[in-house]
Every structure is written in structure tokens, then in C-alpha cells.
Amino acid sequence: MKSQDFRTDNMSQIVARVHPDYRPVWESVPPCNQAALANFFLPRSSGTDFLCPTRPKVVKWYCPFAAQRQFGSGHRYCINVFVGCAHGCHYCYAVGYGPDRPVCKQDFRKLIERDMADLERFDVPPAPVHLSNSTDPFQPLEVVTGHTRYALEQILTHRHRFTTVTILTKNPLLPVQYKYLDLFSALAVLPNGHPRKRFYSETKLPAFQVEVSLAFWREEAGRAYDPMAPSVQERKDAILALRKADIPVVLRIDPLFPRSPMPNGTTLAHFGLPEAQTLEDLQSLVAFAAQCGVRHVVYSPVKIVQPRRRRLGATMAALRSVYQSMSAPIKPVWHGGSWRLPPEIANQHIIQPFLDICQKTGVKAKFCMTNLVETP
């Protein structure tokens, strides 16, 4: 039997079945948009009491793992172009659930076309889209598949269904070398009739931006913590090229690591770890951000993610010991599948010194979740 689309006239019953975590988004919009969101995001037949936004295959709800009450700004999309990531950062939170090696999504082009057609069919109101939160859209697979380029072309074709388009990458040299910049510039322009065109014109906020992750200043630190990602120099060169082409860039000095000496006098070397970010490194990174004219920098303290199907690697196991030592006599906080420093310790020893540098340099800094929810 063919499943029926949700209708506007019984929306109150449907909204009552939306999982309480997601319901505030539905409750914040009028019934016609509730029906559009329900038709795009919710499964038609589900035996569970509550409905979650699991329906789209590629243009997915961002982000099912985050606390949804923080998404008061409404629905937003994430397109994870690939599954897994070649960069192999030791601190990657996606290692908790991703495969060991990056792979393409089967029928990716067909699936994204279908999701885009559904956005049109159900007349879904525009929302921000992020590529990608658990893979790098410009990892080497992109050179052979062109899936990220195809996704961006689809977004451009359906530009009125999206507000800000954000790309997050550690490999910004790839789009510079392979001539993606014209596509980036085209995505920055909202077409006439776009429902938010006036908002962007009045606020002067960019409708397209590239977030580049560059947490280290010295190459040896990069090689120790994100060993297979592009070099620090390559990322710096690419950021300069993006800015020269007038592409808005956000610099993610993220994550932030503990520094020696730590509160109890120990050093990272005591735990067999190289220094990740000295204060001088952070000063150099923030000065580079200022020199390039990035929109702002983004930060968050490193989380130690416990992979689902394997043990912690040596680097993160050592970092967990650092966290235990810094937190003593209490324990690191276990939350959402990862260990974190107790907030007051993270603030005092990791975050505040970084914010002081940003303030002195005149660079705006945003905590990662704030950066996400404030992207319109």
C-alpha cells in the first residue's frame, strides 16, 4: 500500500507524535510549514510512539546527536557527503560511529536528487545547510567522485530552499586547486525571490562560508594529532587564496588542548605526548586569523571520544590520563560518549587564556555550539 503524505488538517495530532526533543521546531512554525517539515523529515509508517526526523537519505536533520533544545533557530540540514574520513584525526568525534576507511554513499547522486525534489514537492521553508559534520567533503575521495561538487551544484539549483551554506574542511587547498571558487561565489548570491534575501542584505551576513579547521601552528604538532590531514602550510596557503577570492572564511582553532605546565606541575611530556598548542602557537594562529580577515574563530576544548567498536588509540588514551590528572581529585566528565574536563578546569586552563589572546588581538571568538546555532 502506498503511504500517504501528512496533511495540514491533522497536524496537531502529528506534532504531538514528534519526539519531544524535536517538537519545539515544529511548534515554532505555522501549520503549513509543520506539514512541510513532517512530510520531508518524518517516516510515514513507524511502530514507535514518537516520530524522529529519520526520513531523508542525504539531506538530513542536523544533528541527531546534539541536544535539540539548543536548536531554537529551527531546523537545519547536514549533508555528509561521504561515510568516514581519510584525515584520521586522533581526536575526531566521528570515529565513535564511522567506518575505519572512508567510503562513498551508494547512489549518492540519485538520493540527493530525490531529497531535493522532495524539498520542492513539500515546499519546505529554507534553512541552513552544513557540509559536513562527520566527514571531510574535500578529502581525497572528492577528487575521484566529485560528489561534493555535485551536492553544491544541487544546492545552487535549489538555492531558495537553503539559507547559509557552510562548508567545513581541513583540506581547503582542494577546492582552490580544482576550481570550485566560481561555484562558491555563485552560492553566495541569493536569487531574487529568495524568502531571506532582504535579511541577508540588511544584516550583511554571508550566505556562503568556508570553515577551515586549523588547530596547530607547528607542523610537528599537526603530524602528532591529525597525522593524515593536509599540512599546516597547505591550509594556511589555501586560506589566503580563499580570502583573496573574497570567500568568507571562519577559522576553527578547534579543538583546544591542555598545555604544559598543567595545574599540578606535570607536562604533556610526562604522559608521552608532544605539546599541541603552546601559548605562542595560539598567538600565531589568532594573529594569522586577524591578518586574513576571517569572520571569527571557533573553539572548544578537546573531547576524548570512546570509539564504539575498538579501544582508545595510544594518543587519546594518554590524553585521557592527562584529563584524569588535571581533574583530580574528581573525575573527568563522561557525557555523550566522550570524556571532558570539568567545565571550571577547562575554562581556567584551556579556554580563558585563548579568549584573552583573541581579545588582545581584536579577533571575535565563538564557542562551537554558539557558532552553529547562530548561523542563520
Q: Which three cell numbers stand for residue 183?
A: 561555484
Query: Could you tell me the smallest distance in angstroms from the CB atom of residue 93 to ligand SF4?
Result: 7
Q: Which of 136, 234, 254, 275 binds ligand SF4 (CB under 6 A)?
A: 136
The sign one gets for the Cα dihedral 84, 185, 164, 115 is: negative
H or E element, residue 60? strand 60-61
Contacts of 107 (CB under 8 A, 6+ apart): none
Query: Could you tell me the smallest distance in angstroms from the CB atom of residue 92 to ligand SF4?
Result: 3
Cβ nearer to ligand SF4, comparing 116 with 131 = 131
Query: Is residue 94 involved in binding ligand SF4 (CB under 6 A)?
Result: yes
Instruction: From 225, 284, 291, 287, select the one nearest 258 (Cα to Cα).
Output: 225
Query: Of 86-94, 182-190, 292-300, 362-370, which part binds ligand SF4 (CB under 6 A)?
Result: 86-94
Query: Is residue 85 involved in binding ligand SF4 (CB under 6 A)?
Result: yes
Task: Tell how strand 249-252 and strand 304-305 pair up.
Answer: unpaired
Cβ nearer to ligand SF4, comparing 226 with 275 = 226
Site residues for ligand SF4, 209-238, by CB under 6 A, read 226, 229
Query: Of 87-95, 122-130, 203-211, 354-362, which part binds ligand SF4 (CB under 6 A)?
Result: 87-95
What CA–CA distances, in Å, run from 206 to 75, 153, 163, 164, 171?
19, 18, 10, 7, 21
Query: 335 burial class (0-12, 13-18, 19+ CB within 10 angstroms)?
Result: exposed
Cβ nearer to ligand SF4, comparing 78 with 85 = 85
Using a CB cutoff of 8 Å and minimum separation of 24, what contacts does 349-353 make?
349/258, 349/259, 349/262, 349/263, 350/256, 350/257, 350/258, 350/259, 350/301, 351/256, 351/299, 351/301, 353/259, 353/279, 353/282
Query: Of 82-90, 234-242, 336-344, 361-369, which part binds ligand SF4 (CB under 6 A)?
Result: 82-90
Pair 313, 267: CB distance under 8 Å: no
Q: Which of 24, 88, 307, 337 binds ligand SF4 (CB under 6 A)?
A: 88
Pair 82, 137: CB distance under 8 Å: yes
Q: Which of 59, 92, 141, 215 binds ligand SF4 (CB under 6 A)?
A: 92
Pair 212, 169: CB distance under 8 Å: yes
Strands (E), 77-231: 77-78, 82-83, 103-104, 127-131, 162-169, 208-213
Query: Is residue 346 involved in binding ligand SF4 (CB under 6 A)?
Result: no
Query: Could you tell me the smallest distance in angstroms from the CB atom of residue 132 to ligand SF4?
Result: 8
Cβ nearer to ligand SF4, comparing 229 with 304 = 229
Q: Taking every pair of C-alpha atoms in the chain, what is the biggest distance, in angstroms?
A: 68
Query: Could you tell me the smallest distance in angstroms from the CB atom of residue 78 to ligand SF4?
Result: 12
Q: Which amino acid is at 154?
A: Q
One character per residue 168-197, x = contact with ligand SF4 (rule: CB under 6 A): --x---------------------------
Query: Is residue 313 involved in binding ligand SF4 (CB under 6 A)?
Result: no
Query: Is residue 135 involved in binding ligand SF4 (CB under 6 A)?
Result: yes
Cβ nearer to ligand SF4, comparing 131 with 357 = 131
Query: Is residue 281 involved in binding ligand SF4 (CB under 6 A)?
Result: no
What is the binding site for ligand SF4 (CB under 6 A)? 85, 87-89, 92, 94, 134-136, 170, 226, 229
